[in-house]
Amino acid sequence: MKQKSLLTECMSLLLWKKSKKGIILKFMEISPIKAPSSGKVVYTGELASYGNIIMIDHGQDVRSVIFGDMKIKANKGDLVEKSQILGYTMADPGIEKSLYYEIRKKNFKFI
């Protein structure tokens, strides 16, 4: 599965699984979060109880959305290249945390 190889290249993961609308990535260490493809950062911030969020517009109505326990280094308006570091996971010793990742086309979720 192409998404798995891309995501495992991006960070050290204990586990990933497909949810109803995206992929949940579990981790226990600080790792870089890399852009899945080139694009423009259209939103960064917090999302209620879900943690920090970053949204990248890849063009042709395709967007990546990543949210969870992470420290975002990219800013709204930044142009990013594939594999460019967007931020880092935030880890606490012995505690499993997670990120959520999805791809949207015309605001429909594809992963």
- What's the pTM? 0.77
CA–CA gap between residue 17 and residue 37 (Å, rounded): 21
Task: Print the SS3 string covering 10-49.
Answer: HCCCCEEEECCCCEEEEECCCCEEECCCCEEEEEEEEEHH
CB of 100 within 8 A of CB of 50? yes
What's residue 106's pLDDT? Answer: 81
First to last CA, the chain: 12
The residue that leads in pLDDT, 76 or 98, is 76
The residue that leads in pLDDT, 110 or 39, is 39
